[in-house]
Structure 1
């Protein structure tokens, strides 16, 4: 099940997608905060939810609420991916 929000946030995109290997082993390119939040919530390794994970998750919600610029939190998502070992560059 994908996370849906009250506003359409699928139009909020990063200039460069983030390559991720999900907990299920799929390689995907995450193109923005809504996709990132879905990965963090649905496809993240359960044992890899550290400090960067929590920050990225909160910032995704802030971006979707249009309180934070999308590009600003992209680096935080990458840090969470590196922390969990799921970054797939």
Structure 2
């Protein structure tokens, strides 16, 4: 498994209001597989893309975008740690890269 980190970590606001920081696809995949609140379309894509990033098939940044989209789908607050930019929807992320 490849060690992959995102250029900019993400801060997620959990359903209980607590913040949680994610630095790469390994942490995101662990959260998706063990603590995720619902399993929709973007959840499945994020899980697949995080696994692919850890295998070196996809870039870590593509997995990051998928994780952001899954957060939007699950109504979890998600922001860029460096800038504080809050992502509002899954579609905004995918317009940038896909």
Q: What are the ranges of 5 or more consecutive residues in structure 1 without an aligned counterpart?
A: 1-6
Query: Is 1:36 paired with 2:28?
Result: yes
**Structure 1 residues 50-76: Cα deviation after superposition (integer angstroms, max 9, x where no partner):** 000000000111000000011122111
SS at 1:28's partner residue? strand
SS at 1:68's partner residue? coil
Structure 1 match to 2:73: 83
Work out which of the residue numbers 61, 67, 73 in structure 1 matches 2:63: 73
Contact 1:63 1:70 in 2 (8 A): yes
Q: TM-score, normalised by structure 2?
A: 0.71
Once superposed, which parts of structure 1, at least 4 consecutive aligned residues long, lie more than 4 Å away?
A: none
**CA distance, structure 2, for counterparts of residue 22 and residue 64 of structure 1:** 24
Structure 2 match to 1:58: 48
Structure 1 match to 2:93: none
Q: TM-score, normalised by structure 1?
A: 0.78
**CA distance, structure 2, for counterparts of residue 36 and residue 80 of structure 1:** 11
Q: What are the ranges of 5 or more consecutive residues in structure 2 without an aligned counterpart?
A: 80-98
**CA distance, structure 2, for counterparts of residue 24 and residue 66 of structure 1:** 34
